[in-house]
Amino acid sequence: MNAPGKGRAAARALVAAVLAAVLNGGVLAQGLLDEATSGLLVQAVEAAADLDLYNARCRSDQSGRRSENLNKVLAARFRITVIGVQDRYFPEHSYRLAQERMQNAFLERLKVAGGCAEARASGLREALETRHRETLGAIEALP
């Protein structure tokens, strides 16, 4: 007959082993991305950020909805977040620096476009939405 504490210890050991395997699987899944896939993730993060920045600046919509939706897809498919992509695959290897660069680049583009009114008239929002939709679709189509 087993001692009363042995069953619990074995159950804890099993849970710890499963948890370690799951966590290691997440690290392995992130490390196994090929260059084309990681490039696609970078493009998708940039597209979502551009659209969210446009919405925040020109439509007073601070929700960050596109980045949040992308975050859900990335977490489900690759076990990585938008911030993880920025830290791991962006040239800066720092999500703060990557976000700052993307914001500055977007604001410069908006300035060149003539501000929100001119950007709206030129169809910038539609172009940003199309780019976001295409990159998100490409990620969802990956095997």
How far apart are alpha carbons 137 and 74 in whole angstroms?
Answer: 12
Say what the pLDDT of residue 5 is.
57
- What's the pLDDT score for residue 33? 82
CA angle 123, 57, 89 (to 5 degrees): 85
Residue 20 pLDDT: 45
Each as own residue / partner, the long-range contacts of residues 53-60 (CB below 8 Å, 24 or more positions apart, any chain) are 53/102, 53/103, 53/106, 53/107, 54/106, 54/110, 54/119, 54/124, 54/125, 54/128, 57/106, 57/107, 57/110, 57/116, 58/110, 58/116, 58/119, 58/120, 58/125
Report d(CA 132, CA 69) in Å as an integer: 11
Written as tens digits, the pLDDT of the chain (143 aa) is: 555 556 666 556 554 554 444 444 443 344 558 899 999 999 999 999 999 999 999 998 888 999 999 999 999 999 999 999 999 999 999 999 999 999 999 999 999 999 999 999 999 999 999 999 999 999 999 88
Alpha helices in 59-123 (DSSP H): 65-78, 82-89, 95-113, 115-122
Q: Which residue has the tokens 């969210």?
A: 52
pTM of the model: 0.76
Predicted confidence at residue 36, as pLDDT, reads 92
What pLDDT, on the 0 to 100 scale, is given for residue 95?
A: 96
